[in-house]
Structure 1
Amino acid sequence: MGHRRIEGMSLLEAFGFAPGAMVAAVGGGGKTSLVFRVAAEAVERGIPALVTTTVKFTRPAGLAMPRLVMVPAESAVEAASIALAGEGGVTLASGEGERGRMLGFPPAVVDGLRKPGRLVLVEADGSAHRPFKAPAEHEPVIPAGATDVVVCVGLQVLGRPLDGRWVHRAELAAGLAGAGVGEVVTPAVAASVVLHRAGGRKGVPPGARCSALLNRVGGVEAGPLALELAKRLVDGGLDRVVIADASEGTVLEVMGRALVSAPATDHG
């Protein structure tokens, strides 16, 4: 198992995302920050980046959002190509819902957005602002063409009770982990949910890489519980685990079996 701690590494490099990829962010805390931060990093490197959703998402707090283009589903593929021809990054939505949330597209429409040389970043799950979750029957909504799925875990859940204050669909999470509602969320409990085929790995397309973001909040360093969770996830078969503050774009640790950075300037 490889292990890196590199000053100044971007999330794009940490996950090894390359032009032509489609990344679906699922799970708990960090999804919105991840897709918008990686989009900004890609644009800085000359890689066209498109951010969209198959569910709903909100504007990123404290992060720049690429120009918002709202179009009906039948016009999405053409509109994306036209918008990206004029600028490096675009946020694509089908409309605006309650509380200013942006509405997305069916997975089949999002599949059509993937093109060579372009990075497509998709928020494909909801967590009701909880740092951790287990998916319901209708979740997540991952496009079949996703090349990468990133399961997000907000590190503030570790050491907290497995209940509705900290975990979205706590009863489902408890069942997947073989734990009781209200028990402490240990690295073992969190890893059991993330690695479960009905949990974090649910709906991952065949052949897609499955990684995890362990997202810190508030500038706290990655502690032993986070490192233990990362090791359990890599040992359990995830391709890569990144401990980072996605909002800040600060990468603390990277663990994985193959740690080769993405070709950051290849966008032909």
Structure 2
Amino acid sequence: MIPGIDPDKDRIIAATGAGGKTCFLQHLARLLQQSGRTVLLSTTTHIYHPNIDGFAGSVNRVICCTDSEELYTSQPEPASITVAGMICKNPKKLSGIPADLPAELIKRDLYDNILIEADGSHRLPLKAPSEKEPVLPDGYQVLVGVTGWKGIESPVSADTVHRREWFSAVTGLKAGDRIKPGAMSALVNSPSGLFKEPHLKQTLSEKKPCKKIWLLNQLDSQKQRQSGRAFALEVLAHSPSIHTTLLSSFSQPYPWLEPIKNTTLYGLNNDQ
């Protein structure tokens, strides 16, 4: 299973950021399904229909809802993957389900695990959230923040960063700047950055802390993996709140993932 994730305890997992959210959640869905678990993969914003993004062969069923109540009455098969969303004006996509729905589905034990894509990135490798993002589901236990190496190894531009004005506000970088570990630390640690948690219905006393997993993706070559590992260790030296850090590549038929330790006092990777 994925380091940092306990499928029995971490039943609602949300992913934000850019550069590989969809690939990661699809990979996680397959692993959970192969271990005998019943999985729902959905969104609170928009995702591509499985027929469009190549995931259809791994999916047992797709539900396009006109009313979210349909998900309460649609019983999944054991050890299966369901992709669900609301009908979208764009036929290539599914629109988001209500943010309170995943917790209710878990409460009714309809699914073992629910995976939620909680923001969009226009398929660019980096982003910072706008004032309305992310749209996190109620009751999530894990928040996966994704960044793409293709954005880190290139200067900041319209081709590498989504929500550039927000990204610049968090990191201090402008167009043409290179992304160094200090800027990435700002993105990772800022309350307005990668792990932004907007106000939820729960009060602060009711809200349980979530595990934060940083996924540094698009490390497709051996050289990139070496550079990415060194870069991530520099970022983690100033990122005590990160529970687990994963290096990854989903460009090959067999995904590659490698966990690395956060050796700061409060950010020890408990899965090592």
Q: Return the TM-score normalized by structure 2.
A: 0.82
Question: What's the Cα RMSD here?
Answer: 2.3
Distance 1:231 1:44 in 2: 35
Match of 1:182 among 157, 176, 190: 176
Q: Paired residue for 1:239?
A: 243
Counterpart of 1:170, as a letter, is R
State the number of aligned residues.
247
Conserved 8 A contact 1:222-1:252: no
Tell me whether 190-199 or 203-212 shows the greater mean CA deviation. 203-212
Q: Paired residue for 1:49?
A: 39
Could you give the per-residue CA deviations for residues 142-186 of structure 1, whole angstroms, max 9, x where no partner exists?
Answer: 012110000000111113112211000112111111233321122
Matched, 1:83 2:76: yes
Q: Paired residue for 1:22?
A: 12
Matched, 1:229 2:235: no
Deviation at 1:215, TM superposition (A): 0.7
SS at match of 1:251: strand
Distance 1:18 1:44 in 2: 12
Matched, 1:171 2:165: yes
Matched, 1:31 2:42: no
Distance 2:184 2:49 in 1: 28
Return 5+ residue gaps in structure 1 as ranges: 1-11, 262-268
Distance 1:68 1:197 in 2: 35
Deviation at 1:192, TM superposition (A): 1.1
SS at match of 1:15: coil
Match of 1:120 among 114, 117, 120: 114
Deviation at 1:40, TM superposition (A): 0.4
For 1:58-69, list aligned pairs within 5 A: 58-59=48-49, 61-63=53-55, 64-66=57-59, 67-69=61-63
Matched, 1:110 2:114: no
Matched, 1:249 2:262: no
Conserved 8 A contact 1:15-1:242: no
Q: 1:19 to 1:77 in 2, by over 3 A?
A: farther
Higher relative contact order (CA 8 A, sep 6+): 1
Q: Return the TM-score normalized by structure 1.
A: 0.83
Distance 2:22 2:196 in 1: 19
Distance 1:241 1:254 in 2: 6
Conserved 8 A contact 1:171-1:181: no
Match of 1:159 among 153, 156, 162: 153
Distance 1:151 1:134 in 2: 11
Distance 2:259 2:81 in 1: 27
Distance 2:249 2:32 in 1: 17
SS at match of 1:13: coil
Deviation at 1:30, TM superposition (A): 0.7
Could you give the per-residue CA deviations for residues 94-140 of structure 1, whole angstroms, max 9, x where no partner exists?
Answer: 22441501112110123212256711100011011110001001100
SS at match of 1:185: coil
Conserved 8 A contact 2:219-2:225: no
Q: 1:109 to 1:181 in 2, by over 3 A?
A: same
Deviation at 1:194, TM superposition (A): 2.1
